Structure 1
Amino acid sequence: MLWASFAFALLSTPLVNGLPDISRRDSSHGNFQAVCNQIASKVSNASQVFPPSAPQYTADNQHEFFSATQASTCSVEPGSVEDVSVILKIVGRTRTPFAVKGGGHTGNPGFSSTPGVQIAMTRFNAVNVNADAGTVVVGSGLTWDNVYERLSPFNLTVAGGRIPGVGVSGLLLGGGYSYIANQRGLGIDNVVSYDLVLPNGTFKKVTADDEDLWFGLRGIVTQFTLKSFPQGEVWGGIVTWGTDQLEASIKAIAKFATVTDPKAAILTTYAYISGDVLTTTSVFYDGPVPAPGVFDDFLTIPAIQSNLSTRSFADLVKSQISTTIPSDVRGLYCAFGPTAYSASYINDSVNEVIFWGRELTKLDPKVQILAGIEPFTSGLLSHGTPSAYPPDRSQIYFPSGVALTWSNSSLDQVMAQSVRQAADDLQAAALREGQNVTNAVVYPNYSLFDTPLEAMYGDNVERLQELKRTVDPGNVMNLAGGFRF
C-alpha cells in the first residue's frame, strides 16, 4: 500500500473543480526565473540550481503520482543549512511560490510541488550512528529503505516507513506508523531532536525543551536525530490472495486484528483491479520465527504469491513493492478512522471497493481502488507525549485510507469526489457497527487535500494556529503547499 505525504508545512490551497488550484499562490513578484537566478548567485558550491533541461530537475520534481507533480521554474538542491536559510529568505522576501520535497510520496496536488522554486532535499542524505547515545542522525532527503539498508550492518533500526520510496520527513512530521509502532510508538515519539530552519531563515535545533516547536514544527527540517533499537532477523514479506479467497482472507485479517503480540504487524489492502479483488498483506514479525498461532491462517490460505520468510529488516521492507507505478498515473488518498476491524466491517470495506471499482471503470478502464486495513495494539499511543497528532492519546483511531488511481486527467474532479465519498462511506459503516467514531481523528499523511483541520488535529488546532502566527508572522509558509493553519 502506498501511504504517506510530505507535510513539512501545514498549509492549504484554494479549491477549483474539486482539486486544489496549484497555480494560485501569493506572489507579487511574478518573475520566478529571476528568483531562480538570484538563488543560484547566492548559494554556496554545496548547492545547485537546475533548469528544466537538466536531468536533476526531472528527479527533483517527480512524485509518486503524476497528478501531484508540477513543472517548477527551477529546482534547487540545497547542500547546507546555511543555503536552506538563504533560499527561504529569498523566496520569502520576493513572495515566490516554493515547495519542499523529501520522498515525493504525497498524493495531494500542490503539497510538495510548485510553479515556482522546487526545493529538493536530496543532498541531506547522511545516516550517522551514535552507538553511545543510542541514536541515529538521518538526513531529511532520504527514503526509509535507504535508511534501513545503511543501518543493517550495525544491526540497528528506527521507527520509520513500511514500504520503499516513503520519505523520512513526510512520515515523521505527519505522525509516522511503522512495523515496530506497537513496541516503540509513532515515529514522532522516537525523535530526539530536529534540525530546523525557521521561516525567517534562522537555524534552531529543536528538542523537547522547546515546548511549542516540539509540539508543531514550522519550517524546513534538514535532519532528524532518532532513537535507535537493536534489530536482528525478522519474519515476513508479502502474501496475495485472489478473489476466490475473499471470505477466507476476511476471516484471517479479522482474527489477526485481535492479536495482542506487539511484535506482530500487518498492513492489508483490498484492491479492485480489472474486475478482480485482490487481498495483499504485508506481514511482519519482529523475530526470525513468528510466535505459534499468530500467522497460521496466512500460511494455509492458497496464495497467488507469497514471499514470507526469515530475512533482514531492510530486505523485508524492500520486498513490499512488487510492481512499478506507471509514470503517468494519477492518484489520491483519503483517510478514515475506525476503532476496530471486525469481519463484518472488513466485508463492508470489500463491498465499497467493488462498488466504486465497477462504477469508475466505466469512466476509465485503468482505475484501481484500494481500501487499507491497519490494526495496531491498544498500547500503541502510550509510548509518546502530547503532540499535534494524535490530539488524544487515550483513543486509537486506526490509520486507514482509500487510494484511487486513474489515467484520464479530465476525470480529476470525479475521482476526488469519489475517493472522498468512499472514505466517508466506510466511516459511516463503522458508526453503524457501533464504533465510537463520531469525532474520529484521521491520519494527516493519508488525508485528502480538503480534510478539515479539526478532523486531523482536534482541539489542538487553536494552539497550532497561534504557533503559526508566532513563528511565521511573515506568512512565508503560505507560499508553499499543505494544510493551512
Structure 2
Amino acid sequence: MRYVLYVTAALALGAQALLPEAPDSSVLQALRNQGVKTEELPVAELLSRSPNSGCAAAVGHPFLLFAYALTFQCASLHTLYRSDSLQDNVTACTEFSNGYWSTQQAEADPYCIFKAPHSASISTAILLARLYRCPFAVKSGGHAAFPGASNINNGITISLERLNTLQIAPDRKTVAVGAGMRWGSVYSTLEPSNLAVIGGRVSSIGVGGLTLGGGISFLSNLHGWACDNVVSYEIILASGISTTASATKNPDLYWALRGGGNNFGIVTKFHYEAHSLPGHNMWGGSRLYTEAAFPQLTNAFHNVITNSYTDPKAGTWIAWIYMNNTKMASTELWYAGPEGDSAPIWKEYNSLTPPPISDTTSPLKLANYTRILDAANPYGLRETFYGITFKLSLEMLHITRDIFFNEVRSVANVTGVAPIMLFQGITSEQVNHMAKRGGNPLGVGEPLYLVHLSPWWELAEDDGRMYAMISRLLERVKAEAKKRGPDSDYLYMNYAGLYQDVIRGYGRENQRKLVQIAKKYDPQGVFQKLQPGYFKLEDGAPVKDGRYFSG
C-alpha cells in the first residue's frame, strides 16, 4: 500500500430525491453540489492527459510531498481531507492488511486506503473514482477468501470500518446497523436490550458482505436469512446520491439487494427487523467423532434438517476433517434458548455409537458463541471457499462425504493443509421466509443441502494443487447429483469460489432482472467496471480458468 488516508470529517450530503443518473450527467457538478471545491482538485492536469490515465498515472503533485506514485484520486482525497491524512506508514499498512481473513486478500496492493467515516465521504469517493476512472474495492469485514473481493491492486480500497453505529428504533421493531460493524460487536451491543437481529455466526465477519450475499444465521429457521430481515437499505448510488431501498421505496432495488451482492451501490446502513432473544441466551457447541460414527452421524444430520419444522430453534452442521492421515467429523449443534440440551430433536445425535470423543455443548451467550467460532477460523493463512448445492438426499450426503475423503488424500502433504468440508441445510423454514416483503433474487424454491469446502494451507506454490483437488471433488459430486436426480444450480454467494458464476445459479430470469435493475440505477456500469471484484452480474466467475470447477 502506497498511502493510507484516515478521515474524521466529511462533507455534508444534502437530502436529494432519487434520480437515476443520466448518461450525460456531470461528475464535476455532482461533486460541486456536495460542496467539493473542484478547483482544488488535480483536474486540470487530468484533463490534459489521456482520459484513461487518471488512476494509473504516477504523479509528483504539488498537493503531495510523498515520494510514492499516487493516483489522482488519492491526491484529491488528500486535498479534501488534508489535515487528517496520514503519510505512508508501514505499521498502519500492515495492520490494515492483517484485517483481511485470507492471505490472498491481504496480498493486494492498493494505491491508497480510504477510511470513510460516513456516507457523505463515500459519495465523494465514488464520484472521484468516476472522475479519474479509478477502480476501487469496498471492505466491510474482509472475510472473503479470494483476491479482489474487498481489496484491490492498483486502485482504491474504501474501508467501511468507521460506519460502526447501531441504533434501536424507539418502537423496538427495527435496528439500524452501520455497514462497517462486525457481528460480534452487533450482538454485544444488543444484548442488554434482549433484542437480536439476523446475522453472522462468526464474530469478525462484517455486516455488509454477509447480508448482501444472503446471510445464514443461528436464528434462520425461526426468522430467515439476514437479507430477508432487512426492512430497508441506505445506499449510495453511482451518481453519488444517497437513497433508501425498501418494499415501498425503490422496491426493485430492494429486491436486488437481497442477495445481489455489491452490484448496485455501496450500502452504508442496514435497517433490520428486531427479534426478541431474552438475555441472548443460546445453547450450542461442537461434538467430535471418529470414523466409526460417520454413517450414523450423517443420518442424524439429515433427520434434523428434514424435520427442522418440528423445532425451528434447533440447527446443525457437520465439518468433515482430514488431518495427519486421520478422518474426523465435528458436528455443531445450536439452539435459540438455554434449554437446548433437553430438546427432543437431538435424540438421534444423543444416541450415536461410538459417542463423541469430545463435547463442548453448553448454555452460552450469542456474542460469545460467535467468538468461539471465530477462534476456529484463523487469520493469516491461504484460504478458499467453494460451494455446491443439491436437494435433500441422504444418499448424496453419504456419497459426497466418501468422495471428500477419497480426494483429500492427494493434498495430505501440502504444507500446513487443513482440508475441511461442511454440510449445512437450507431448510423448508428458511425457504418460506425468503418470500417476505416481495421475495429475493436467489431462486431457491425448495430445501437444499449446502456443501461448503473451506480448506486452508500456507504456501502460494500449493494454490494450484488445492484448487485442482477441490475441482475434482466437486465435479464428481455434481456428476453424481445429476445422475441420481437431486442436482441444483444454486450457489450461495458467501461460500462460493473465485472460479464460480454465482449469479447464473440464481436462474436466467432472476439474472435478467438483476441486470435490468443495475442498468436503471447505474447506467454507466460503475459497479460492474470500476468495482470489478467479487461476483458480477454478467461477467461470469471472478476468475476464468477452464482447469477448475465453475459450476
Superposed displacement of residue 483, structure 1: 1.8
Between stretches 376-385 and 183-192, larger displacement belongs to: 376-385
User: Does 2:215 align with 1:176?
Assistant: yes
Distance 1:296 1:56, change over 3 A: farther
Between the aligned partners of 1:322 and 1:341, the Cα distance in structure 2 is 32
User: Does 2:377 align with 1:340?
Assistant: no
Distance 1:309 1:65, change over 3 A: same
User: Does 2:451 align with 1:400?
Assistant: yes
Aligned to 1:312: 365
Between the aligned partners of 1:176 and 1:192, the Cα distance in structure 2 is 15
Q: Deviations over 1:304-340 (max 9, x none)?
A: 432211222222222224445251x212111111111
Distance 1:67 1:427, change over 3 A: same
Distance 1:292 1:203, change over 3 A: closer
Amino acid at match of 2:443: P
Aligned to 2:462: 411
Between the aligned partners of 2:359 and 2:393, the Cα distance in structure 1 is 23
User: Does 2:329 align with 1:279?
Assistant: yes
Aligned to 1:473: 523
Aligned to 2:490: 441
Whether contact under 8 Å (1:195, 1:205) holds in the other structure is yes
Aligned to 1:369: 419
Between the aligned partners of 1:49 and 1:441, the Cα distance in structure 2 is 44
User: Does 2:252 align with 1:212?
Assistant: yes
Which residue among 121, 143, 146 is the counterpart of 2:160? 121
Amino acid at match of 2:495: Y
Between the aligned partners of 1:94 and 1:113, the Cα distance in structure 2 is 19
Aligned to 2:116: 78
Distance 1:258 1:212, change over 3 A: closer
Aligned to 2:100: 63
Amino acid at match of 1:366: G
Which residue among 307, 310, 326 is the counterpart of 1:259? 307
Which structure's CA Rg is the greater one? 2
User: Does 2:70 align with 1:30?
Assistant: no
Q: What do you get for the CA RMSD once the two structures are aligned? A: 2.4
Q: Deviations over 1:343-375 (max 9, x none)?
A: x3332222222122211224x142222222112
Superposed displacement of residue 266, structure 1: 1.0
Between stretches 155-164 and 377-386, larger displacement belongs to: 377-386
Which residue among 223, 236, 242 is the counterpart of 2:284? 236
Distance 1:197 1:48, change over 3 A: farther
2:448 partner SS = coil
Aligned to 1:146: 185
Identity %: 24
Aligned to 2:339: 289
Whether contact under 8 Å (2:386, 2:453) holds in the other structure is yes
Amino acid at match of 2:406: F
Normalized against structure 2, the TM-score is what? 0.77
User: Does 2:178 align with 1:132?
Assistant: no
After superposing on structure 2, the runs of 4+ consecutive aligned residues of structure 1 that deviate more than 4 Å are 47-50, 385-388
Between the aligned partners of 1:307 and 1:353, the Cα distance in structure 2 is 26
Superposed displacement of residue 482, structure 1: 1.6
Between the aligned partners of 1:283 and 1:190, the Cα distance in structure 2 is 23
Between the aligned partners of 1:57 and 1:50, the Cα distance in structure 2 is 14
Q: Unmatched 5+ residue regions in structure 1?
A: 1-25
Superposed displacement of residue 456, structure 1: 3.5
Distance 1:227 1:80, change over 3 A: same
Amino acid at match of 1:317: T
2:74 partner SS = helix
Between the aligned partners of 1:288 and 1:87, the Cα distance in structure 2 is 46
Amino acid at match of 1:346: L
Q: Deviations over 1:85-144 (max 9, x none)?
A: 111111111111211011111112211110221111110111111241411111111111
Between the aligned partners of 2:214 and 2:256, the Cα distance in structure 1 is 11
Between the aligned partners of 1:442 and 1:49, the Cα distance in structure 2 is 41
Between the aligned partners of 1:120 and 1:145, the Cα distance in structure 2 is 18
Distance 1:107 1:326, change over 3 A: closer
Amino acid at match of 2:199: G
Distance 1:347 1:88, change over 3 A: same
Normalized against structure 1, the TM-score is what? 0.86
Amino acid at match of 2:452: G
2:143 partner SS = coil
Between stretches 152-161 and 365-374, larger displacement belongs to: 365-374
Between the aligned partners of 2:85 and 2:276, the Cα distance in structure 1 is 37
Amino acid at match of 1:157: A
Whether contact under 8 Å (1:98, 1:117) holds in the other structure is yes
Amino acid at match of 1:77: K
Amino acid at match of 1:228: A
Whether contact under 8 Å (2:421, 2:455) holds in the other structure is no
Between the aligned partners of 2:321 and 2:170, the Cα distance in structure 1 is 42
Superposed displacement of residue 56, structure 1: 5.9
1:51 partner SS = coil
Distance 1:206 1:154, change over 3 A: same
1:201 partner SS = coil
Whether contact under 8 Å (1:239, 1:303) holds in the other structure is yes
Between the aligned partners of 1:27 and 1:356, the Cα distance in structure 2 is 47
Aligned to 1:53: 90
Distance 1:66 1:194, change over 3 A: same
